[in-house]
Copies of this chain bind each other. A is one copy, B any other.
Amino acid sequence: MAYEYEYPHPAVTVDVVIFTIRSDELKVLLIKRALEPFVGRWALPGGFVDLKESLLDAAKRELREETGVAAAYLEQLYTFGEPDRDPRERVISVAYYALMPSDALEIKAASDAEGVGWFTIDELPELAFDHSEILQMALERLVAKLDYSTIAFQLMPEEFTMPELRHLYELITREEIDARNFAKRILALDVIEPTGRDRREGAHRPAKLYRVKDRSKVEVIK
């Protein structure tokens, strides 16, 4: 039951930063650790890479296990390998980050187990290992990519309105955006189309609903 090698081998894990939008906030999924080290501390979902699965598959598996959702935007972020980042043994962590449409989680959300939680990015608890650093880098990447890719649509539900999309950008960049310029810019990308329907909500003019023409396609702009 032991595995032997001629040379020492580190353990390799995959950790995933899972972002979504809930209650009008940018949220991250965290897990309360049940085992040593850092028992009781919150941490990013992750686990050891199976010898027969690719890194991406391992990340997908984590994503599925924790959210019940198979499909989401998933991208490798960075590999963290300081010798002492895990007190047990040398552990190298390949970090990924995932973007989940806010509607994909509705069902699973209800059955949130004890020890799993969505945290607003500016109300994060102290995290285990170097997970704060990983999370920080994921956030920076997300903010940066918002600018030159169409990544943001990966966080939107099937149908959404222009004000909702704009609000997402404002949430992530923490800056106000002019509605007219925003709509112009987004429509010029030619990646969303009106569904023809609209959403009435409150005592004002209804907002048009849009949908992404081809989901799965994340394009780098220009």
Contact = CB atoms under 8 A, between A and B. Distances in A.
Interface of A: 1-12, 48-49, 51-55, 76, 78-79, 81-83, 90, 92, 94
A6 B10 contact: no
A79 B76 contact: yes
Contacts of A3: 4-9
30 contacts: A1-B6, A2-B6, A3-B4, A3-B5, A3-B6, A3-B7, A3-B8, A3-B9, A4-B4, A7-B48, A9-B9, A9-B11, A9-B12, A10-B51, A12-B12, A12-B92, A49-B92, A51-B83, A51-B90, A54-B81, A54-B82, A55-B81, A55-B92, A76-B78, A76-B79, A79-B79, A79-B94, A81-B94, A92-B92, A92-B94
A27 B12 CA distance: 33
Nearest to A5: B3
Contacts of A79: 55, 76, 79, 94
Given A3-B7, A9-B9, A79-B79, 12 more contacts: A2-B5, A3-B4, A5-B9, A8-B51, A9-B11, A10-B12, A10-B49, A49-B92, A51-B90, A54-B81, A76-B79, A81-B94
Nearest to A82: B54
Contacts of A10: 9, 12, 49, 51
A4 B2 contact: yes
Provide the main secondary structure of the chain A interface. loop
A102 to B, nearest CB: 29
A180 B10 CA distance: 52
A8 to B, nearest CB: 5
Given A3-B4, A4-B4, A53 B83 contact: yes
A51 B82 CA distance: 10
Nearest to A92: B12
A86 to B, nearest CB: 12
Contacts of A8: 3, 51
A14 to B, nearest CB: 9
